Amino acid sequence: MREIEKTKEEWQQELTGQQCFVLFEKGTERPFSHPFNDNKEEGTYACAACGTPLFSSETKYDSGSGWPSFFQPIASENVEEITDKSHGMIRTEVVCRKCGGHLGHVFNDGPRPTGLRYCMNGVALKFDKAE
């Protein structure tokens, strides 16, 4: 059970079609298509569906992958990592623990200090600029 449980129809009333596709159908946006990939402003990246804080701009870096990338979440309890065996690969999917929205995947080819690359879909995030 998730803290936030909504039907597909309820999410469709609150989110764009692309957000619903990525967050709740485990879709992926095209690389280099979202402005968050190049965003250099300071602030917090939260789940676009439920607003849970997920990543800080302090952990964002340019991975060259075309998606916003971070080397660690704000709090490990805000994300859940799930083995993903789709598309003939074995990867680690990252979802929002509060609503279950698909955010992207995490890989072990990131920078120090964690060595992780949380490769997120920009459309699955919202940005709260620091004041």
Closest CA to 10 of 103, 131, 119, 99: 99
Does the annotation list 20 as a binding residue? no
Catalytically active residues, by annotation: 119
Contacts of 125 (CB under 8 A, 6+ apart): 36, 45, 46, 47, 48, 54, 55, 68, 103
**In this structure, what token pair is assigned to residue 92?**
């680690």
Task: Count the residues in the chain.
Answer: 131
Does the annotation list 99 as a binding residue? yes
Q: Residues marked as binding for Zn(2+)? A: 47, 50, 96, 99
Which residue numbers belong to the known binding site?
47, 50, 96, 99
